[in-house]
């Protein structure tokens, strides 16, 4: 899966533990214990993570209500707002697929 630089580093540093996505056809096939290789879109750096839990919700508001803001990628001084996800997905996509929080643990150090 591709990640923007900031999300990639948040997972790499170990404080973002939940990757949020649409629960589309591809994501709905992910299972606990699967290995996901993330690629940083800015430099192609790779990071492997193991799926330790999967949380399914109807929308991002529900996901945000059930997880602390740091685990989903916000810094302590940032305001967590589910509408931020509208930068990536349309309301129609969210309504069609629902959303998923993929809880991760890092497996290795990243490589360039």
Containing structural domain, residue 62: 2-106
pTM: 0.92
* Residue 33, both tokens: 């214990």
pLDDT reading at 109 higher than 90: no
pLDDT reading at 112 higher than 80: no
Show the CA angle centred on residue 84, arms to residues 91 and 77, nearest 5°.
Answer: 160
If phi > 0 it is left, if psi is from -120 to 50 it is alpha, else beta; for residue 50 that is beta
pLDDT tens profile 23-79: 999 999 999 999 999 999 999 999 999 999 999 999 999 999 999 999 999 999 999
The CA distance from 70 to 98, in Å, is 22
Query: Is residue 111 situated within a structural domain?
Result: no
Query: Is residue 7 situated within a structural domain?
Result: yes
CATH code for the domain in which residue 63 is found: 2.30.130.30
The CA distance from 57 to 97, in Å, is 10
The CA distance from 25 to 33, in Å, is 19
Region 79-95: mean pLDDT is 96
What total of structural domains would you count in the chain? 1
Task: Provide the pLDDT for residue 82.
Answer: 97
């Amino acid at each position: 899966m591709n990640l923007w630089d900031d999300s990639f580093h948040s997972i790499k540093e170990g404080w973002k533990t939940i990757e949020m996505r649409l629960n589309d056809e591809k994501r709905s096939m992910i299972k606990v214990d699967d290995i996901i290789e993330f690629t940083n879109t800015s430099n192609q750096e790779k990071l492997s993570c193991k799926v330790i839990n999967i949380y399914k919700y109807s929308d991002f508001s529900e996901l945000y209500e059930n997880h602390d803001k740091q685990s989903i990628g916000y810094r302590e001084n940032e305001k967590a707002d589910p509408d931020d996800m509208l930068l990536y997905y349309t309301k129609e996509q969210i309504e069609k697929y629902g959303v998923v929080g993929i809880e991760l643990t890092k497996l290795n150090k990243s490589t360039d």
